[in-house]
Chains A and B, each alone.
Chain A
Amino acid sequence: MTGKLRLATTSLAGCFGCHTSFLDIDERIIPLLERVSFDRSPLTDVKHAGACDVGLIEGGVCNEENLHVLREFRAGCRTLVAVGACAITGGLPAQRNRFDVGALLHDVYVAEPGLTRRGVPDDVELPRLFDRVRPVHEFVKVDYFLPGCPPPADAFWAFLTALLDGREPALPKELLRYD
């Protein structure tokens, strides 16, 4: 591979735990940076993903802003990777799928006691919520899945180094986990 691999990462309806786990590759980040340059990522503060080799998506899709970012990644990234339980299954945020969103918002912002009862926030700047939290593969084509909650740091390392070396990034079973 010539030049550096361009990598973008983001979290949709996630907790950034996958990013934290990624950083748990510890000092291996230094050799990685010799082969990888970061595009949009919490590590760079770049606001929009451009043309990239690889995009790592953490988190599922719970609102239209998530979808907007996901589509930007899909359009810009040659290889799109769904990372972690939330991106792959909806995860913890998808626990709300058994409830009606309108009723939930009513409970939280209207019915339940609280400091202010100004009703459900409806500023046009707020992204609209989906009826259900869905995994990213239900919106766009996903090339690879890196499961785990979060995926172990070694899984990130094994996956990225395989991609960098031009190998098919198949995880060994020890690094494959759903929790």
Chain B
Amino acid sequence: MSRSAFTLDGAEVPFDDGQTLIEAARAARRYVPFLCAHPDYPAHGSCRVCTVLVNGRPMAACTTKAAAGQVVESDTPALTADRRALVQMLFVEGNHFCPGCEKSGGCTLQSLGIELGVTSAGFAHESPVRPVDASHPDLLLDFDRCILCELCVRASADVDGKHVFALSGRGLHKHLIVNAESGRLVDTGMSVDDAAASVCPVGVILKKRVGFSTPIGQRPHDVATPRQQVEGKEGA
């Protein structure tokens, strides 16, 4: 029995019932740019980078279920421009100092920016003041880099069963908090072995004493770009 399919930029993509556009595209080794989506977690839909046109209508590919006959456009100049602007917004919202960041070369935001050809932050920088939390013996929180994807919130709640992280504030003042009256990570039940300790796509949650251990040239992005990670080297 043949499976149902939609078209992505003209190419047919088969899907299983219940799959989202981005899941089906990934399974078919076709790259749709994304940021907050993670294969191990339910779709979040907050970064909006995976916005595609479904039958001409803009939708987030991570939260939209695939349906037979959908005409999906992703690789268009307008959508690429939108995605660049979204990435630029994330860069000016926080303090992203790539040259000094432990996560450089393995950072999803950085890799996406490069993938999309983003060369500058475009907008004016917010330069927010967000103190580091170094209270925990094994982990460091550098809130400057947070993109509010809630992966740590979800990992801690759903996998670790600990609810170490949550979001507070709203609008541009939205920010990550930890589950302690003191507001310090050391006073939560967080452990370096938690799923939440390894899930951060950017450089907020860092394990102490292991930074910069991978030489330049061997870091995840050096080995494979986001597109190559989905499509394989030859696909690029």
Interface residues of A (CB under 8 A from B): 82, 85, 88-92, 94-95, 97-98, 132, 134-135, 137-138, 142, 144-147, 149, 170-171, 173, 176-179
A161 to B81, CA, bound (A): 26
Give the size category of B's interface with A.
20 to 34
**Are A173 and B114 also in contact (CB < 8 A) when A89-B96, A92-B99 are?**
yes
User: Are B113 and A178 in contact (CB-based, < 8 A)?
Assistant: yes
User: What would be 12 A-B contacts, judged by CB atoms less than 8 Å apart?
Assistant: A82-B120, A85-B98, A89-B91, A89-B125, A94-B95, A94-B127, A147-B120, A173-B114, A173-B225, A176-B117, A179-B98, A179-B104
| A176 CB contacts on chain B under 8 angstroms | 114, 117, 119
- Chain A interface mostly helix, strand, loop or mixed? mixed
| A170 CB contacts on chain B under 8 angstroms | 117
User: Are B124 and A85 in contact (CB-based, < 8 A)?
Assistant: no
- Chain B interface mostly helix, strand, loop or mixed? loop
| B115 CB contacts on chain A under 8 angstroms | 173
Asked if B211 is at the interface (CB within 8 A of a chain A CB), the reply is no
1/0 per residue B198-233: CB within 8 Å of A? 000000000000000000000000000100000000
User: Are A88 and B121 in contact (CB-based, < 8 A)?
Assistant: yes
Asked if B105 is at the interface (CB within 8 A of a chain A CB), the reply is yes
| A97 CB contacts on chain B under 8 angstroms | 95, 127, 129
A90 to B96, CA, bound (A): 10
Asked if B169 is at the interface (CB within 8 A of a chain A CB), the reply is no
Asked if B110 is at the interface (CB within 8 A of a chain A CB), the reply is yes
1/0 per residue B111-155: CB within 8 Å of A? 001110101111011010100000000000000000000000000
